[in-house]
Amino acid sequence: MDDQLPALEAIVGSGSYPTFARTLVALSAEGYDFDLDHLFELGLGAPLDGLAVRLDRRAP
Rg (C-alpha) for the chain, rounded Å, is 18
Contact 18, 26 (CB under 8 A): no
Write out pLDDT tens, residues 4-59: 989 989 999 999 999 999 988 888 877 777 788 988 998 999 899 888 888 888 76
- For the purposes of burial, counting CB atoms within 10 Å of the CB of 24, is it exposed (0-12), middle (13-18) or buried (19 or more)? middle
Which pLDDT score is estimated for 57?
Answer: 82
Q: Which of 47, 26, 48 is nearest to 12 (CA)?
A: 26
Which pLDDT score is estimated for 26?
Answer: 87
Global pTM exceeds 0.75: no
Which pLDDT score is estimated for 18?
Answer: 94
